């Protein structure tokens, strides 16, 4: 990573942060709130829930402003900058239409629920259809590698990609039930994905990423105080972004799964536990590990820091294993997976 990229990234991040702070303040005034219900929503007061809109606005507006400032600071003219901006966007979007449609669709599904309150089953079916359509339209890797050889059967790749998109996007939404956990952990996962993808994968790190990180940091300034929620738009949109970028990153499936492991273990183990006890998956509940920790007296910040620590550990191990190559990503994933499941089970038993 060159010095110019770092400086440019910091500039984009600062602009994304500033725009994010402004848009966070604006969406808090919309009157669209998440009200306590005495069940899963345990906050004492109604909290604004359009933080996802603020993150998206901060990212897009911050990215555009940052691009023009960068071009003009290098001595370019405004008219030429507009042309260069159009060219840059065309290059960025080339071949990524399924990815963009999927992320936008996931964001809009979440926004629908945030504003009007979507039917849970209909929302899930709509998201599943979106995942299948995106995978069938090309949002899938060319092959899935494993210690036993590559899998390149188109139907298997489409089904596997659609399942991954659906599981991880929903996982972020499930985890987004306490201040700072989901978006803070996701920022770490996205950073890990960007670094691994640049060093080992098939694409280059862009300064535009920093506008996203800046907007997420601005949101967390409000979210960690319990003053603003990401809402389904933020959870589904950012979860969909990570899941979709992972498919086009060129990274091994085990590297991607290791990055996502803190969410996958909690969500999948909770679903298994609820199925074992005959509980409806679609009903609101307080059975996730992070919810049990908060119920036992941990603060939201304490739990967030714990999950951030898990995310940093997984990101670091994913990078090391990907650098090692061979069977290392496979071994690291399953090693961390077994350890994480053992911790989850021990916590569940102690909670009972």
Q: At 124, is the pLDDT very low, low, confident or very high (cuts 50, 70, 90)?
A: very high
First to last CA, the chain: 48
pTM over 0.85: yes
**Separation CA 320–CA 324 (nearest Å):** 6
176-221: per-residue pLDDT in tens? 988 999 999 999 999 999 888 887 766 666 667 889 999 999 999 9
Q: 154-184 burial, b if ≥16 CB within 10 A, otherwise e?
A: eeebbebbbebbbbbbbbbbbbbbbbbbbbb
> What is the distance between the alpha carbons of residues 102 and 115, in angstroms, rounded to a whole number?
20
- Whole-number pLDDT of residue 270: 93
CA distance 16 to 57: 9
* Domains of the chain by residue range: 3-351
pLDDT tier, 286 (very low <50, low <70, confident <90, very high otherwise)? confident
221-245, pLDDT tens digit by residue? 999 999 999 999 999 999 999 999 9
| DSSP class of 47 | E
Mean pLDDT of 27-56: 83
Percent of the chain topping pLDDT 90: 58
What Rg value do the Cα atoms of the chain yield, rounded?
A: 20
Least confident of 62-76, 275-289, 323-337: 62-76
Distance between CA atoms of 311 and 335, rounded to whole angstroms?
Answer: 15
Residue-wise pLDDT for 328-337, tens only, equals 999 999 999 9
């Amino acid at each position: 990573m060159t010095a110019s990229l770092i400086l440019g990234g910091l500039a984009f991040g600062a602009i994304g942060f500033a725009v994010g702070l402004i848009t966070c303040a604006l969406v808090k005034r919309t009157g669209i709130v998440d009200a306590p219900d005495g069940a899963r929503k345990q906050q004492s007061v109604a909290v604004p829930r359009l933080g996802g809109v603020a993150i998206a606005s901060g990212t897009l507006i911050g990215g555009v402003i940052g691009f023009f400032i960068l071009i003009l600071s290098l001595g370019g003219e405004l008219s030429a900058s507009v042309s260069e901006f159009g060219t840059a966007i065309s290059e960025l979007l080339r071949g990524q239409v399924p990815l963009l449609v999927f992320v936008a669709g996931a964001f809009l599904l979440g926004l629908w629920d945030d504003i009007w309150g979507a039917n849970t089953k209909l929302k899930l079916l709509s998201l599943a259809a979106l995942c299948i359509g995106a995978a069938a339209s090309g949002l899938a890797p060319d092959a899935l590698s494993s210690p036993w050889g590559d899998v390149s059967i188109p139907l298997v790749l489409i089904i596997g990609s659609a399942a991954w998109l659906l599981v991880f996007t929903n996982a972020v939404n499930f985890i987004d039930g306490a201040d700072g956990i989901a978006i803070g952990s996701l920022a770490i996962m996205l950073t890990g994905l960007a670094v691994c993808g640049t060093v080992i994968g098939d694409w280059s790190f862009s300064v535009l990423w920093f506008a996203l990180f800046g907007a997420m940091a601005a949101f967390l300034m409000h979210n960690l105080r319990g003053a603003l929620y990401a809402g389904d738009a933020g959870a589904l949109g950012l979860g969909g972004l990570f899941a979709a970028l992972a498919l086009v990153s060129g990274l091994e499936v085990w590297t991607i799964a290791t990055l996502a492991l803190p969410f996958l273990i909690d969500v999948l183990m909770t679903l298994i536990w609820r199925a074992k006890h005959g509980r409806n998956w679609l009903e609101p509940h307080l059975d996730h590990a992070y919810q049990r920790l908060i119920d036992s007296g941990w603060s939201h910040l304490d739990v967030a820091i714990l999950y951030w620590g898990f995310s940093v550990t997984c990101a670091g191990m994913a990078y090391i294993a990907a650098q090692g190559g061979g069977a290392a990503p496979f071994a690291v994933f399953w090693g961390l997976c077994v350890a994480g499941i053992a911790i989850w089970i021990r916590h569940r038993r102690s909670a009972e």
